[in-house]
Amino acid sequence: MAVLTPIRFIAKEKSNFYQTLNARVEAYFKARNLPKQGNLSVYLKGIALLSLYLLPFFLMLFYTFSFAWAMVLWALMGWGMAGVGMSIMHDANHGAFSKFKWVNEWVGYSLLLLGGSVFNWKLQHNMLHHTFTNISHYDEDIADKPGLRLSPNTELKRSHRFQWLHALVIYSLVTLYWVTAKDFLQFARYSKMGINKNTASENRIFLLKLIGIKIAYFAVFLGLPLLAGVPVLQVIAGFILMHLVGGTILTVIFQLAHSVEETTFPMPNEAGNIEQEWAVHQMETTVNFSRKNRILSWYVGGLNFQVEHHLFPKICHIHYPKISKIVKETAKEFDVPYLEHRSFWHALRSHFATLKRFGKLPKMEEMMG
């Protein structure tokens, strides 16, 4: 794996869009004397989602349930697991959950409950995805997966032709892959690419910690139920079901923000530059959905306001509905696109239409025609 070539965002015509927007957002918080981070409602939501994730698990440790009811509990854990990832861990690891750095750090470790590595996640998400959104070979969120092509700038294969039909199956496996192999593969890949700046000794320590994280995760979520006398089949089936539910929710919500019909997938020019301002690039590669759906917004941690999140990742998601009005008005003033779908279902339909478009095989279609 080659070292990533640096990319610069250099627009042909520079505007004051982001400077103006940033000043207006700053004025919004100053005028209301509001902190940009979370408040009591965020903390209570954190407790609620952690309870949805962990309470069913503890119930199974102390009470006996039929196979069917146990699967219901494991499925609820999947919903809770996804909620923790979207509403708690995500804000904390962006420094937006609390105004206290140590609180963000400790709450960010809720990712360990999902079996993941905070260090790797920050490299993939905060550094690569947020900086190089929808740029192939830089943004791993649109990297091809077995049987899936998520960018028009990667190799087209026959296996992609019907990807819109089997995409959800692959999405459902994402967190299972994450807790087993992904972190180790990322660790090796990021070291070779020069993204991981740790020294050799630091990386040895990190690898030992990573192995410990995985052992602890499986010991808790598989070992404890078995020690408590829960039937083996019930534990294995439930654990897999939890990840199928959680993986599907997490992957779909993130894909709806970038892999849809309205977004662009730019590539750097020969000089290695993206011919656009970074903030405008974010507006062209990111889409909101269901901005008026309060229940959805609560559960997904404001990830339906991805435009605002990409522009202001250190602002807690509870503020996005309000500042979205400022962003939309400023975008209109500067003739910058503000992309959104009015509902979850419209966004989902757009995503599958995009998968279908990216999977088309022109030569095969010509032969059939």
- Element housing 341 (H / E): strand 340-341
Q: Is residue 115 part of a domain?
A: yes
Query: Smallest Cα–Cα separation from 112: which of 209, 39, 190?
Result: 209
- Give the whole-angstrom CA distance, residue 226 versus residue 236: 10
Domain count, the chain: 1
For residues 345 and 288, the answer to whether their CB atoms sit within 8 Å is no
Q: Is residue 350 part of a domain?
A: yes
Q: Is residue 232 part of a domain?
A: yes
Q: Is residue 1 part of a domain?
A: no
Q: Is residue 3 part of a domain?
A: no
- Give the whole-angstrom CA distance, residue 53 versus residue 79: 7
For residues 289 and 343, the answer to whether their CB atoms sit within 8 Å is yes
Q: Is 9 helix (H, G, I), strand (E, B) or coil?
A: strand
Please list, residue by residue across 16-42, b when 16 or more beta carbons sit within 10 angstroms of its beta carbon and e when fewer do: ebbeebeeebeebeeeeeeebbbeeeb
**Could you list the pLDDT tens digit for every one of the 369 residues in the chain?**
456 778 899 988 889 999 999 999 999 999 999 999 999 999 999 999 999 999 999 999 999 999 999 999 999 999 999 999 999 999 999 999 999 999 999 999 999 999 999 999 999 999 999 999 999 989 999 998 889 999 999 999 989 999 999 999 999 999 999 999 999 999 999 988 888 889 999 999 999 999 999 999 999 999 999 999 999 999 999 999 999 999 999 999 999 999 999 999 999 988 889 999 999 999 999 999 999 999 999 999 999 999 999 999 999 999 999 999 999 999 999 999 999 999 999 999 999 999 999 998 665 444 344
For residues 87 and 38, the answer to whether their CB atoms sit within 8 Å is no
Give me the half-sphere count of Cα atoms (radius 13 Å) on the Cβ side of residue 340. Answer: 19
Which domain does 334 fall in, by range? 8-368
Residue 303, token pair as written in the block: 């990830």
- Full-model pTM: 0.92
Residue 343, token pair as written in the block: 């509902």
Residues ≥6 apart with Cβ < 8 Å to 220: none
DSSP state, residue 198: -
Give me the half-sphere count of Cα atoms (radius 13 Å) on the Cβ side of residue 245. Answer: 20
pLDDT digits (tens, 9 = 90+) for 19-55: 999 999 999 999 999 999 999 999 999 999 999 999 9
- Give the whole-angstrom CA distance, residue 296 versus residue 57: 24
pLDDT digits (tens, 9 = 90+) for 230-266: 999 999 999 999 999 999 999 999 999 999 999 999 9
